[in-house]
Amino acid sequence: MIGQLDLSTLQHIWWIIVSLVGSIFLFLTFVQGGQTLIFSVAKNEEEKTLLINSLGRKWELTFTTLVLFGGGLFAAFPKFYATSFGGAYWVWMLILLTFIIQAVSYEYRSKPGNFLGARVYEIFLFINGSIGILLIGTAVATFFSGSNFILNEMNQVTWQTPLRGLEAAGSFFNLSLGLFLVFLARVLGGMYLLNNIEHEELESRCRRSIWINFLWSLPFLLFFLISLMIREGFAVDPASGEVVRQQFKYFYNLIGFPVNLALCLLGLGMVIYGVVANVYKDQKNGIWFGGLGTILVGLAVFFLAGFNNTPFYPSSVDLGSSLTIANASSSHFTLTVMSYVALAVPAVMAYIAFLWYRMDRKKLNLAELEGEGAKSLY
Amino acid sequence: MVEQIDLSQVNWARGQFALTAIYHWLFVPLTLGLSFLLAFFETIYVKTGNEEWKRLTKFWMTLFAINFAIGVATGLILEFQFGTNWSKYSWMVGDIFGAPLAIEGIFAFFLEASFFAIMFFGWEKVSKGLHLFSTWMVAVGSNLSAVWILVANGWMQFPTGMAFNPDNARFEMQNFADIVFSPVAVGKFTHATSSSFLLAALFVIGVSSWFLLKGRHELMAKRSIAVASIFGLLSSVYVVFTGDEAAYNIADKQPMKLAAMEGLYRGQESAPLVGFGIPNPYKEVGDSADPFIAEFKIPGLLSLLANREAGSFVPGMYDLAFGNPERGIRGVQERIASGERAIDYLGSYKKAVSEGNEEAAGSYLSSFNQHREDLGYGYLDKPTDAVPPVATTFWSFHIMVVLGMLFPIIFILFMVFLKKGTVSSHRWLLNLGIISIPLSYIASQAGWVTAEVGRQPWAIQGLLPVQVATSNLTTAAVQTTFFVFLVLFTLLLVAEVGIMLKQIKLGPEEK
């Protein structure tokens, strides 16, 4: 059945799937955001331990989603995988390093004999939550601002700057998306913690943190969105396949496709509602609105970058090298095989949701940290 | 293209991959095997309702979690390193290689990650049944991820189910089932997982032996040994069986690797297996020096293992490099010449296409098609480039085999003395149990060294040499990341071992 779809349809489906995984990752960065709150929201070691143990029950989901995002891109758009990872070497290496140090930190932090001391592992968590997310944001922004690479006739990449991707952080446009994601992650982190733990003082501090970080996120979001709408974008001429620069390209992508506009507005509205519900209505369920809203906005951002004859990974030094979902994808056969595999994704998401629900029915509190199993805590 | 290749950069990239893979494999086998042992322990707890078994399960679970975390950390870099350091590889075979990695993520990693949280923190939060189910799912998930990554590795050792597309300059998938059920992939999976079960069984026995030596937690230690020794013995029988199957596959699909594993320079009938030998480090393919300084050989056994026929012919490195028309072997020498023409025709074809000259393109394409099977060989300089480092391959293979033969004996000894009730009184046996922990790690690593060094110079056997697979990076960049990972992983390893030892000393939770 899937095999009868034409290549272009499969490429579009796979861009949607990859966008969805990427957007779910953005939601799950509440773990990273939460990691940056451990020094400010928690006022003593006990509270810090509570926060870290609450986050520690979710960190692997975020991590695994990131790995799946990479794996999905590799399988569906291998030319992007080869070009970006092999080209923007330093930015990806730094991102990976921040996730490597995260992966051990939960398990090792509170264990005796951990060699580096608890404080170092806490700093590792902070670095992952701040620098890691900042760099991911700047990397994603290059989907719109372009990168410095050239592909040869064998599709092999040469990067044109010695900074190999880190130069993206020199643009305030790119940085603004990175900084917005850092603050958004902190908002989501606060929302998650508020929902997951039972501790009166921490709850009120989480509420305040959600509000402050939300306010901090706004200027960067506005700057990014306005710049995106008015900037010169990249477009593909569908007839010749030629890539050209086009003024207001992303604005056209937004208003030309009501779905994008709807996703964007609905998503932003949900995030704002989540914040208001948490901060002013004394509710604890803001994370669901904030999370779903983040996913919707994320989808809109990825759709703006990849659909409507837009190269999703443009080269600013050689327009002809730009990657589109058409020229970067796997073969028809591979996309078909992978589409059958993707049919299992709803089932995977269902059992994750079920387990999550079962585990979180009872909120985490200080009493639990002292109960049976205290030795295996993070 | 060949003249642009920077050999030192390639070798640093190789080194970095080897480093990260070796570190990753320090942690993975214990995860693969201990996850099942945890499932066994907890099943006994649920069946008997005996709280002692719960304590025992939780003790091993703590060690599992410490090891698991660093396995995840080192695994991340392996996946993304294909892109960062091997971008030409990623493009040329991403159409095939990406799929198993993505499937691993969807099916295996989420199982592991979601059920791990229940297994570890859910004792009080979910029912006994759901908790036990979660523990089993962690084991299934871990081993499922091994399935997919070994499918990917198996494909690199024996590429199948694909064809080269000259327009995109890449290989494209043609048959998914061929890739998943390739005999090499199946063999890799069964051998790697069963050897990991063996390693985990020795880990449990070794740690338990230490408790017995110290006279602590004796009941728990004996119970752990009882389960682990049965699991270990069954696994080690399977390891031998799958190892034999692997050798048979290698003889068929990677004869050069087999020749290097055995230090066989010239092919012969009734080829002997080297029971013990010291290879001559100065020996070159094609010279008349003696391949061994000292050796003890078992006649006909290599032929038997390789071809299931004692008198059969096994080709040596010389035959494979320079050809042996008598035996119908096309040598590397001949294939290099053919491969160089394939590269030329491909370049001319691409040029003709870009100039819109269809007639010339068609002609170049048909010429290319005559040589396409040898494309990868065109990037080699000389026939001996196709010979892997013999000493490393030989030693790692023999160390693995010798240790692999020793382990079943250890399991049997523990079973016998446990049955007799005298296991605690034999200090030599308990010490042997402790020593067998590092030995099992050495054997496990040696197995991968054999597999990966033995297939050099190929990133993908016969299709893509390593030096054509790298990214366009400076040597300094790769050197830098090499040392960053070396330092970071070493620090984390020290921390991991420190925490492990401390937790073992602390022992299980008090009643």
Q: What is the pTM of this model?
A: 0.94
- What does the pLDDT average to over B439-464? 96
Tens of pLDDT along A250-260?
A: 999 999 999 99
- The residue count for chain A: 378
Confidence bin at A1 (pLDDT 50/70/90): confident
Residues 339-378 of A with CB under 8 A from B: 341-342, 344-345, 348, 351-352, 355-356, 358-359, 361-362, 368, 371-373, 375-376
Distance between CA atoms of residues A158 and B472, nearest Å = 6
Mean pLDDT over all residues of chain B? Answer: 94
A114 CB within 8 Å of a chain B CB = yes
**Sole residue written with tokens 């402050």:** A212
CB contact under 8 A, B110 and A352: yes
Tens of pLDDT along B162-190?
A: 999 999 889 999 999 999 999 999 999 99
Tens of pLDDT along B351-375?
A: 999 999 999 999 999 999 999 999 9
As a whole number of angstroms, the longest Cα–Cα distance in chain A is 67
Nearest-CA residue of chain A relative to B88?
A156
Distance between CA atoms of residues B66 and B69, nearest Å = 6
Contact A194, A207 (CB under 8 A): yes
Tens of pLDDT along A200-211?
A: 999 999 999 999
Beta bridge partners of B296: B276
**Backbone phi, then psi, for A157, in 5-degree steps?**
-90, 140
Segments in chain A forming alpha helices (H)? 7-28, 30-35, 45-56, 59-76, 78-80, 86-87, 89-109, 118-127, 133-145, 172-196, 200-230, 249-256, 258-279, 286-306, 332-342, 345-360, 366-370
Distance between CA atoms of residues B30 and B39, nearest Å = 14
By Cβ distance, the residue of B84, B91, B99 closest to A79 is B91
Contact B132, B435 (CB under 8 A): no
Residues 27-86 of A with CB under 8 A from B: 57-58, 60-61, 63-64, 67-68, 70-72, 74-76, 78-79, 81-86
Tens of pLDDT along A53-98?
A: 999 999 999 999 999 999 999 999 999 999 999 999 999 999 999 9
If DSSP codes are grouped into helix, strand and coil, which group holds residue A38? coil
B169 chain-A contacts, CB cut-off 8 A: 153-155
Compute the half-sphere exposure of residue A3: CA atoms within 13 Å on the CB side of its CA: 3
Give the burial class of B484: count Cβ atoms within 10 A of its Cβ; 0-12 exposed, 13-18 middle, 19 or more buried.
middle
B498 CB within 8 Å of a chain A CB = yes
B492 CB within 8 Å of a chain A CB = yes
Percent residues over pLDDT 90 in chain A? 89
In the predicted structure, residue A127 carries a pLDDT above the cut 50: yes
pLDDT at B5: 56
B133 CB within 8 Å of a chain A CB = no
- Those residues whose C-beta lies under 8 Å from the C-beta of residue A212, and which sit 6 or more positions away, are none
Confidence bin at A372 (pLDDT 50/70/90): low
Distance between CA atoms of residues A50 and A369, nearest Å = 7
By Cβ distance, the residue of B114, B173, B477 closest to A331 is B173
Q: Kindly tell me the sign of the dihedral angle through the C-alpha atoms of A104, A106, A109, A110.
A: negative
Tens of pLDDT along B112-162?
A: 989 999 999 889 889 999 999 999 999 999 999 999 999 999 999 999 999
B501 to chain A, closest Cα gap in Å: 8
Tens of pLDDT along B472-511?
A: 999 999 999 999 999 999 999 999 999 999 999 999 987 6
If DSSP codes are grouped into helix, strand and coil, which group holds residue B117? helix
B179 chain-A contacts, CB cut-off 8 A: none
- What does the pLDDT average to over A282-303? 96
In this predicted structure, which of A1-15, A178-192, A286-300, B436-450 has the lowest mean pLDDT? Answer: A1-15
Nearest-CA residue of chain A relative to B499?
A113
pLDDT at A367: 86
By Cβ distance, the residue of A86, A106, A376 closest to B471 is A86
**Backbone phi, then psi, for B324, in 5-degree steps?**
-145, 90
pLDDT at A369: 83
**Which conformational region is residue B368 in: left (phi greater than 0), alpha (psi within -120 to 50 degrees), or beta?**
alpha
> Taking Cα atoms as reference points, which of B148, B236, B200, B186 lies closest to residue B39?
B200
In the predicted structure, residue B2 carries a pLDDT above the cut 50: no
Inter-axis angle of helices A345-360 and B110-121, nearest 10: 10
Distance between CA atoms of residues B116 and A231, nearest Å = 46
A344 chain-B contacts, CB cut-off 8 A: 106-107
pLDDT at A68: 93
Contact A72, A18 (CB under 8 A): yes
In the predicted structure, residue A373 carries a pLDDT above the cut 80: no
B138 CB within 8 Å of a chain A CB = no
Give CA angle at B162 (B158, B165), nearest 5°: 130
- Those residues whose C-beta lies under 8 Å from the C-beta of residue B328, and which sit 6 or more positions away, are none
- What does the pLDDT average to over B240-269? 95
In the predicted structure, residue B4 carries a pLDDT above the cut 60: no
Segments of B59-193 assigned E as strands: 162-165, 170-173
> Taking Cα atoms as reference points, which of A98, A96, A101 lies closest to residue A85?
A96
